[in-house]
A and B are shown apart, each in its own frame.
Chain A
Amino acid sequence: MEVPILKQGGILIATVQAALTDADLLQLRRALIERVVQMRSRGVILDVTALDVMDSFASRTIREIANMIRLRGTETVIVGIQPEVAFAMVQLGLTLDGVATALDLEEGLYYLNRKFKRAAS
């Protein structure tokens, strides 16, 4: 299932709607990078509220996405990780090091906007 990517000002918002297969993840990675380049976005929010499982491949891909996007000078925030998912991830040692996280979409937007403001001043 394809993940819709919405544009909101300079920010791209990708909201995961259902469980993702490995192929879906790779497709998401490709689509996001393309869009970031195309739209010259300044920030990306990946909303994983709907995910109730996060395996090692998913978390590695998410980290890769964030790192690739950073190379374009764009910041990525992962939002909406469920408490149970967070706990399970930590126990598996999947801690998304170096990737920004926020509670939900609103927080993610707030985080990015503050960052832009700081960069502007």
Chain B
Amino acid sequence: MVPKRDEDVVVVTQDTADDGTPRSETTTRLLRELVAHLRQNRTSLREEWVQRITEAQLLTAMTKEEIFAEATSVYDSYVAALETGTFEALQNYARNLSERIIPRGVETHEVVGIVLLLRDVLARSLFAKYQGDFEELNRILDAYEPAANRIANTVAVGFVQERERVIRQQQEAIRELSTPVLQVRERLLILPIIGVIDAQRARQLTEQLLRGVRSNRAKVVVIDITGVAAMDATVANHLVQTVEASRLLGATVIVTGLSPEIAHTLVTIGVDLSKMNTVGDLQGGIEQAERLLGYKVAMMAENA
């Protein structure tokens, strides 16, 4: 029995791998058969799939109706992709789907999970259908598996790419938001820094500040670091670099808002801040800047 089956398998392989053209023809025929089967059993297979999704507790962020609606579309695109062999429509659908579900907190493992579940459900139904004919089952799986794997791959990659795109977009937005260069008086800029400064951000800060100095023809810049929680030697050196670069453009920099902790850290690690002009708080910094620029702010005389 066993040797006979071995022989059979060998024959099957020869049959299908005989030559490029007949093989792809066989595959096409089998896929067509497969698609017909999937279309025929659309309702039951789809329901089974949704059932399995719920059981596996995937897509918990979505309601059952939503899952069913999405499952229907995915199922149809899946079958269409099997039928046509082109993945563009599916890819677009996957991207579109990702766009909708990412904001709702759907995770990568869930998306990959549901596609793999669909693959399993369909494979199971194929097993059930071709139970009697082992060779035919083998051939149909040969045709089905690569296509199914490619589909799973496409959907997963589409989802991850969409996710990455969203992350990049958010990073960009945060970066732009986080470094405003503001003019408070003619030739006086302030640069409030909030949050963590890393090498990349320090670079960006410096670039933006230098551009600001140029376009606003600033003479004095007040950098306020009240919102910076911690500072180490690297960050301090970035700050010193920013100060020196501004000086090369002819602008004086005043650093304000060093917290006692930061001051202590800087002194302890021995960063050379002799080139830095520091004032306790933002108000003091602006006042000194005004003095440097020759402004005199006076209270209006109280009128009767």
Contacts and interface: CB of A to CB of B under 8 A. Distances in A.
Contact of B249 (A83, A95, A111): A83
Contacts of A90: 206, 241-242, 244-245, 248
A83 B207 contact: yes
Contacts of A95: 244, 247-248
B213 interface: yes
Contacts of B214: 83, 103
- Which range holds the interface residue count of chain B? 10 to 19
A55 to B, nearest CB: 15
A103 B207 CA distance: 16
B82 interface: no
A89 interface: yes
Given A83-B207, A87-B210, A101 B249 contact: yes
B211 interface: yes
B241 A81 contact: no
Given A103-B250, A103-B251, A107-B250, A83 B210 contact: yes
A81 B249 contact: yes
B210 A86 contact: yes
A79 B250 contact: yes
A59 to B, nearest CB: 10
A3 interface: no
Contacts of A83: 207, 210-211, 213-214, 245, 249
A13 B49 CA distance: 81
Most chain B CB neighbours (cut-off 10 Å) among A81, A86, A102, A104: A86
A102 B245 contact: no
A103 B211 CA distance: 12
Given A81-B249, A95-B244, A102-B250, A87 B207 contact: yes
B98 to A, nearest CB: 39
Given A83-B213, A83-B214, A89 B245 contact: yes
A102 B252 CA distance: 10
Given A103-B213, A103-B217, A96 B250 contact: no
A52 to B, nearest CB: 14
Interface string A62-87: 00000000000000001101011111
A38 interface: no
B248 A101 contact: yes
Contact of B241 (A84, A91, A96): A91
A102 B250 CA distance: 4
Nearest to B217: A103
B206 A87 contact: yes
A104 B250 CA distance: 8
Interface in B246-269: 246-251
Top 4 closest pairs, chain A to chain B, by CB: A83-B210, A102-B250, A86-B248, A86-B245
Interface of A: 78-79, 81, 83-87, 89-91, 95-96, 101-104, 107-108, 111
21 contacts: A79-B250, A83-B249, A85-B248, A86-B210, A86-B248, A87-B203, A87-B210, A89-B245, A90-B241, A90-B242, A90-B244, A91-B241, A95-B244, A95-B248, A101-B248, A101-B249, A102-B250, A103-B214, A103-B217, A103-B251, A107-B250
